Amino acid sequence: MQYAKDTFYLALRERLATINPERTISLNGKTRPAVLVVENELPSAALPLPNAFHLHWGAVRTVQPARRPLMALECVIRYAAAGSGEAVLDRGRTLAALDVELLQMCAPPRAAKLDRSVAPPAALGTMIFWNTPEFTDPEMPLISAGNVGRTARLSIFFFPEVDLA
Amino acid sequence: MNNLNPARAAEAMLRALGGESVSLLFPVATGTPDLADELGLVAAAVEEVAVAPVVVRALVPDNGHARRELLFAASAIRAQVDARSAATAEALFQSAVGVLHQGRLLRIVSVTPELFAGEAYLYRVLAVE
């Protein structure tokens, strides 16, 4: 399951770096694409960050029982747009841009599952795939007064690395 | 009035109230070119920075978790802002992992500056366990 999480996160990270190289965050002294897994980060008052995609892992369920069943892992992606300037009138447009970037990051809806804990990354022989994100109504405020945010949900489908029966 | 006077007065007040020293924990930039830190594969190193004077007030616990209000002298925070090249005091607190007080690690929830003539003389920090 961790391999599926890592693979999905890194797929989004690499795609965002191509789609919009200027969409970056600076966290713990490192500048990187603006997508992060909240549970992998140091707990800090700095989170959540505006104009960045925050991945939260949700429930896991069996989709198709088998000795090695098809599993589904819910992923909740939260992001909020901080407008520019003092009037922050462009929050809506920034949010729309984030929506489009998320859709672009999620296409194609698959990636080869890799073990990224070793170097070089090891192919695990299966793919992970996911459905199109479902967007919720905009939330104001999501992070702080002045930001407009949204939550997107999708399910990631994968086979576990071990037999369960 | 010199804008530094309220800050000095606040610092003196905190010392008179028995201001103690707490440690702010900051992550040490790993500089790792790979992604191990983003995948949670490496334990992030932190450095402790002692800050004084600080007055710590206990608040009503939340679901059994300790809550503390910490009053930091603006002068002490200003020194850390300069030392760590933070943009603002709020950014300094946001970059911290937490506050270490009497062996307890507290997460910073909010930072509120107390202002006089537009200058902060005190920072009111809410931290929870």
Tell me whether residues A37 and B109 touch, CB distance under 8 A: no
Q: What's the pLDDT at B46?
A: 83
Q: Which amino acid, one-letter code, is at A74? A: E
Searching chain B, which residue's CA lies closest to the CA of residue A119? B34
CB interface of A with B, residues 26-45, below 8 Å: 28-30, 32, 36-37, 39-40, 42-45
Q: What percent of chain A has pLDDT over 70?
A: 90
Q: Note whether A13 contacts B38, CB cutoff 8 Å.
A: yes
pLDDT band at A140 (very low <50, low <70, confident <90, very high): low
**Band (A143; pLDDT cuts 50, 70, 90):** low
Number of Cβ pairs closer than 8 Å across A and B?
56
- Average pLDDT over chain B, rounded to whole? 85
Range list of H helices, B17-84:
74-83
In degrees and rounded to multiples of 5, residue B105 shows phi and psi of -90, 120
Which of A10-24, A51-65, B43-57 shows the lowest per-residue confidence on average (mean pLDDT)?
B43-57
Question: CA of A5: which chain B residue's CA is closest?
Answer: B39
pLDDT tier, B31 (very low <50, low <70, confident <90, very high otherwise): low
Q: Is the pLDDT of residue B1 over 50?
A: no
Rg (CA), chain A: 17
Report the pLDDT value the prediction gives residue B32, as an integer from 0 to 100: 61
Contact between B44 and A42 using a beta-carbon 8 Å cutoff:
yes
The alpha-carbon gap from A17 to the nearest alpha carbon of chain B, in Å, equals 14
Q: What are phi and psi of A94, to 5 degrees?
A: -65, -40
Residue of chain A whose alpha carbon sits nearest to that of B99 = A44
Q: Name the band, by pLDDT with cuts 50, 70 and 90, for residue A119.
A: confident
Q: Which among A43, A45, A116 is the nearest to B35, CB-wise?
A: A116
Average pLDDT of the residues in B63-88: 89
Average the pLDDT over B3-19 and give the result. Answer: 79
Q: Which residue has the higher pLDDT, B25 or A82?
A: B25
Say whether B56 sits in a helix, a strand or coil: strand
Band the pLDDT of A20: cuts 50, 70, 90.
very high
Q: What percentage of residues in chain B have a pLDDT greater than 70?
A: 91
Are A9 and B39 an interchain contact pair (Cβ–Cβ within 8 Å)? Answer: yes
Measured between beta carbons, the chain A residues lying within 8 angstroms of B40 are: 37, 39-40
Q: What is the pLDDT of residues A51-104, one digit of tens each?
A: 999 999 999 999 988 888 999 999 999 999 887 766 667 888 889 999 999 999
**pLDDT (mean) for B107-122:** 88
**Which range, of A17-21, A25-29, A60-64, B118-122, averages the lowest pLDDT?**
A25-29
Which tokens belong to A67?
Answer: 């000795």
Percent of chain A with pLDDT over 90: 55
pLDDT value of position B69: 94
Average pLDDT in the B89-118 region? 88
> In terms of CA atoms, which chain B residue is nearest residue A27?
B95
Quote the mean pLDDT of chain A: 87
A149 vs B3: CA distance, rounded Å:
38
When mean pLDDT is compared across A13-17, A96-100, B62-66, the lowest value belongs to: B62-66
> B9 in helix, strand or coil?
helix
